Amino acid sequence: MPLSDAACRNAKAGDKPRKLSDGGGLFLLVQPTGGKLWRLAYRFQLKQKTLAFGAFPAVGLKDARLLRQGAKELLAKGLDPAQQKKIAKREAQLEASNTLEMVAEEWFDARKHAWTPGYSDRIWRRLQSDVLDVIGSRPINAIEPPELLQVIRAIERRGAVVLAKRILQVTGQVFRFAIASGRAARDPSQDLRGALRSAGSTKHRASLKAGELPGFLRSLEQYRGERATALALKLIVHTFLRTAEVRFGQWQEFEGLDGDSPLWRIPAYRMKTRNEHLIPLTPQVTAILSELKQLAGTNRHILPAPAKDGVISQNTLIYALYRMGYHSRATVHGFRGTASTILNEHGFNRDWIERQLAHTERSDVRAAYNTAEWLADRRKMLIWWSKYLDTAREQGAADLQAIF
């Protein structure tokens, strides 16, 4: 006779374990201690076996019958319910241990050595704050496109439309890493193509025109903040390097500072293009470095952080521009555009300019040239550029146009 809820609740413990049958192999095992356990007796490959379904009342009579039905269906397919339960348990444990954050950490550890320190730091901070802090504890194989879209939409609502697209691309790389390593079956970021807001037209970073350089250079000369910050800005203006390339500079990278052909040899791992970059140094630049050396002392970095280990933050230079009154009028990166425009307008070889900017070559022919092949030409160009900057600061825009 089938059991009822009341019969299960009222079953009394005895001196020995006793079974209350519900039919079809399902029974409630009442222990002498008072515990009531669901069990299913079945045969598989001529062997008598028992499957546990949990304890009553946590597992009610209705739930126990559904579990019995599921076991019977597996037996009909020639599968052992107990073995399938073990497989499901292992898969659940594996899924729980393969969270998005755990896989992301593995992916990052495998990739970060190919990036500059500044770039890798930005990638991880963005991924952590915008994605992992929200859904990082979720099993990576359980994350569906709508859940990921909700995360990306939150970034868009801050107005960071371009960043949202970049975060989605990075997250997609993590999912594909999980697929390759057997922790995920698909990449949900692929289903979000076309679902993100358009970033609109590209906005180029603000840069100064030639006529604005004299006023800026004079303001920089009078800067009342940290001296190292002003020198760092001067260094960027004279060499038009990227902010991170200057911030993480080390004294061991310089050659022949006291000679006739001083050189800054930036290793490939610090460059965005992953190619070693050689920068000829003008007398003005070596003077800047000499002053920075006095400030840095024995520190291996040319721009050490004043109050902690490491280097100055990526915001130090842009905040200096703000204090000088150049908010929205100039960016640190914009000096690269200023230099490129002026040098092109004065007829300098485009190859020399592009090489100095460390831009990725757009053709196999250009990429075939050796970096040092234009080194002497770039040195002449940079000597001209440093003199141009000195003239701009000392004599102003009118004389600058007349002289150059």
What backbone phi and psi angles, to 5 degrees, belong to 327?
-60, 130
Q: How far apart are the first and last CA of the chain?
A: 106
List the structure tokens of 197: 């807001």
Interaxial angle between packed helices 61-76 and 81-97, expressed in degrees from 0 to 180 and rounded to the nearest 10: 110
**93 vs 16: CA distance, rounded Å:** 35
**131 vs 380: CA distance, rounded Å:** 48
b/e map 86-105, b = 16+ CB within 10 Å:
eeeeeeeeebeebbbbbbbb
Residue numbers annotated as active site: 242, 272, 333, 336, 359, 369
Residue 281 to residues 236, 268, 316, 374, Cα–Cα distance (Å): 12, 19, 24, 14
